[in-house]
Every structure is written in structure tokens, then in C-alpha cells.
Amino acid sequence: NAGVTQTPKFRVLKTGQSMTLLCAQDMNHEYMYWYRQDPGMGLRLIHYSVGEGTTAKGEVPDGYNVSRLKKQNFLLGLESAAPSQTSVYFCASSYSGTSGGDTQYFGPGTRLTVL
């Protein structure tokens, strides 16, 4: 099992460009999450999904869109990148909801720089 994988690992964008980050999990988890990690800030939840075809906003959703067309994949999109979106992005998944105590397992992260 690969667990949670993220593509790409690194990316540099110019302001205004768009891109999509792909997260895939092979653990048959229902829930998937996108976080961003900024220096000295810990991780903050961007969007999450409680199942195929569903998405919901987290703490910092502005400037991002997500889609969950297949259970195993969770895509994070930036339509018009801004320097403030320079960050490390982590995807995570869990079998059931974290509010029920289930553990989230994280991917290796994507380092995004917006110039």
C-alpha cells in the first residue's frame, strides 16, 4: 500500500497562474482533507470531503477549490495563484470523521512557491 500520495512534490507558479494538486489514497478511506502549513503557523484546514462527490470548507478556504469525483482522489485547485498561497500543502485521509476520533494519515506534502 502506498498510503497517501501527492502530485507534484514541488511547483513554482507565477502570480495569476492556475494549477491543480492531486491527492490519492489507497486505503479506502471515506474522508479526505487538504491543509496548508506556513512557518510558525502549524497546519490549517483548507477544505475537506466526507465522501465521494462531497466537499466542505475548512478554516482557510478562500482562493481554493476542490473536487472529489472518485473516492480515492481529492483535487485542490488554485484558479489564480497569489504570493500569499506560497506554502506547503498536505493532503490527509481517514476512514471516518476526525470528530469521531479517527486518525488522519498524511501525504508527503507539496511545496508551492508563487512568485
Partner 1 sequence: AQKVTQAQTEISVVEKEDVTLDCVYETRDTTYYLFWYKQPPSGELVFLIRRNSFDEQNEISGRYSWNFQKSTSSFNFTITASQVVDSAVYFCALSDVDSGGGADGLTFGKGTHLIIQP
Sites of contact with partner 1 (CB under 8 A): 31, 33, 35, 40-45, 48, 50, 56-59, 88, 90, 92, 97-99, 101, 103-109
Q: Output the smallest distance, CB 55 to partner 1, in A.
A: 12
Residue 41 or 115 having the CB closest to partner 1:
41
Cite the DSSP H helix spans in the chain. none
Cα separation, 93 vs 50, in Å, equals: 10
Task: Pick the closest to residue 113 from 25, 31, 26, 9 (CA basis).
Answer: 9
Q: Output the smallest distance, CB 69 to partner 1, in A.
A: 20
Half-sphere exposure of 29 (CA within 13 A, CB side): 30
Residue 17 or 67 having the CB closest to partner 1:
67
Task: Pick the closest to residue 26 from 68, 58, 73, 64 (CA basis).
Answer: 73
Residue 42 or 69 having the CB closest to partner 1:
42
Q: Output the smallest distance, CB 109 to partner 1, in A.
A: 5
